[in-house]
Chains A and B, each alone.
Chain A
Amino acid sequence: MIVDSAPAFDVRDYLRLEMMPHFLCPGCGHGIALRALLWAIHELGIDKDKLAVVSGIGCAGRLSAYIDANTFHVTHGRPLAYATGLALARPDLHVVVITGDGDCLAIGGNHLIHACRRNLKLTCLMLNNEVYGMTGGQVSPTTSESRLTTTTPLGNSEPNFDACALAAAAGASFVGREVTHHVPKLKELIRAGLEHPGFAFVEVLSDCTEIFGRKNELGSSAEMVLRQKSELRPSAYRDTVDTPFRSNDLPTGILTKTERPEYGMAYRKAAAAQRANTAARASAGVNERKA
């Protein structure tokens, strides 16, 4: 039984109802991830005026359009760059970045590693569906080996990215991963990320049913959601031949959580010191001239 804060939470309070129904395909996991994000925001009691959602291009990037808050739909791969500026200028805002696997790791890969390195207070929600869905199903950096996409008709031959390992290696102070099947756990993870005083990277394993699932014959959307669960089995099941989709012993939950100085705070401190220094020098100059 899930009888907690859920009854009080109505996702429609946080949606732009005039935009609904959203444009995502039937069974797309991004809708579930969006609900988890809004649920976490509701639980934390974040005011909609104090929430800024920045998103890039792609199916995931489109999600910001449905959130009834301050939203930016920006250029491909650059939501983290925009969000960095926003978070530095407006530290009072909760800045959330919604990005896809291609947006975040391919086009915006450079922005990701530098955002991780800086440790600015941001929450980056990467919705990983292993494919460029919006543009017709091209191979993405997270597509598993041997998977079929429109650009890999004989199966993907490249190894894929472990986005969480990448973010942790680049210095993100909070890294977590969850699947869309476990909505309450996903909500808890996003909530922990929102509460984290630093850069929080959350990878959500989402399902692309219409393009990736259909091409790879992964079954109906319900079957894809259920498969997420079966693929979270321990490593004993790792060698199952026909499931190259994801490694079976996929770690989920909070993977990395470290204490590091937050960039915005350090930057403002340095700026204030600089200003004080300049003011002191200016006033000293005035005094000298007077004397």
Chain B
Amino acid sequence: MSRPTASTSSIEGEPLRPTASAAKAREPMNVLIVGVGGQGVIMVSKALASLAQSKGYQVKQSEVHGMAKRGGTVFSHVRFGPQVWSPTIPKGEADILVALEWAEGLRWLPFLKAETGIFICDTKRIVPPFACLNRRPGAPLRYSRETPAEVRAHVAEGYAIDATRMAEELGNERAANVVLIGALSTALEFSAADWEQALAQFVPKKTIAVNLDAFRLGRNWIEEERTAVDDAEAPLAHIPAPAAAPYNVRLEITPAWCKSCDICVKLCPERCLRLNQERIVELAQPEKCTGCRLCELLCPDFAIRVHLDAVAKEVAAMPGAKA
């Protein structure tokens, strides 16, 4: 497909394609919104797109949805300006990156403009299943360990907001995305009143009040953050502790009761049991056992009992035992 040819003729009116000098003014504003399915990424991008459209801009938006619902990675490109050619933002071209989840924000950082990009990120951490492949209780998560300060050092302008906590304090955790809209609104030229009008269209009627509060909260937070001189560290959002305290697993096997039926060996999710030479079950790889109790529950002969012994405190406090 041929690209539109550049034309500088004044007779033809506006040039179809900006010249180098006019490029700056005619370049679209690129806003990339990312998060985890269910957080409201699409809603944020819809509000922004409709607002920009109502202001007479050409808007192109491109998103992923559907399969990413409820826990998958979701992104939405919003581009608006006098003329927008492509709906997707090239790598390194996003003016603003709004992330509703911490690791998703980090994942999309390469899309941000290196010199001028603004990074607005919720410090909410949603640990995906593949970051906890080691199912042993207390095992370290493979979730990103970057602190907000480290990230801010890498971007031109970065804000780490604990928007989820702020929304929770307002009474509805789901308004966290609107807190981020509030933060985003300060980086764009639209007035607060316009934003609030656009928001009211996109949130459920019953929650308009809390969402407008959330919007103002986010907006004020950013302004305070800008005026603050010291580089106060935004605390990382609270990560729910593992359901159980770290413990050691010990299997108590009654050899006289085992009838070598093989159920525990075949059904162990970690494959850490085996039948010994006398066809009696034994724990072959104790380090792999997570203490899930499946063998105990499924043993028809009551030959296995799983004990979860609490780990001594100094061991539990060691790095890596808890992430």
Contacts and interface: CB of A to CB of B under 8 A. Distances in A.
Contacts of B107: none
B261 A2 contact: no
Interface stretch (B154-162, B196-204, B218-226, B291-299): B291-299
A20 B259 CA distance: 12
B17 to A, nearest CB: 54
A70 interface: no
B265 A222 contact: yes
Contacts of A7: 307-308
A24 B308 contact: no
B263 interface: yes
B302 A29 contact: no
Q: On chain A, which size bracket covers the interface? A: 20 to 34
A6 B249 CA distance: 14
B244 interface: yes
Contact of A3 (B135, B244, B297, B299): B244
A69 to B, nearest CB: 16
Contacts of A220: 261-262, 266
Interface in B212-232: none
Contacts, number: 83
Interface in B272-323: 290-294, 296-303, 305, 307-308
Q: On chain B, which size bracket covers the interface? A: 20 to 34
Interface string B232-259: 0000000000011000000000001101
B267 interface: yes
A225 B244 contact: no
Interface stretch (A9-17, A102-110, A277-285): A9-17
B137 interface: yes
Interface stretch (A30-38, A45-53, A192-200): A30-38
B266 A31 contact: no
Contacts of A209: 261
A222 B256 contact: no
A225 B292 contact: no
A6 B261 contact: no
B294 to A, nearest CB: 8
| B266, B293, B301, B302, most chain A CB atoms within 10 A | B302
Interface of A: 1-3, 6-7, 10-12, 15, 20-22, 24-32, 35, 180-181, 183-184, 209, 220-223, 225-226
28 contacts: A1-B243, A10-B305, A11-B305, A12-B305, A20-B302, A21-B256, A21-B257, A24-B300, A24-B301, A25-B259, A26-B300, A26-B301, A27-B300, A29-B300, A31-B300, A31-B302, A32-B298, A35-B302, A183-B298, A209-B261, A220-B261, A220-B262, A221-B262, A222-B261, A222-B262, A225-B263, A226-B266, A226-B267
Nearest first, the 3 closest Cβ-Cβ pairs linking A and B are A31-B300, A222-B266, A27-B261
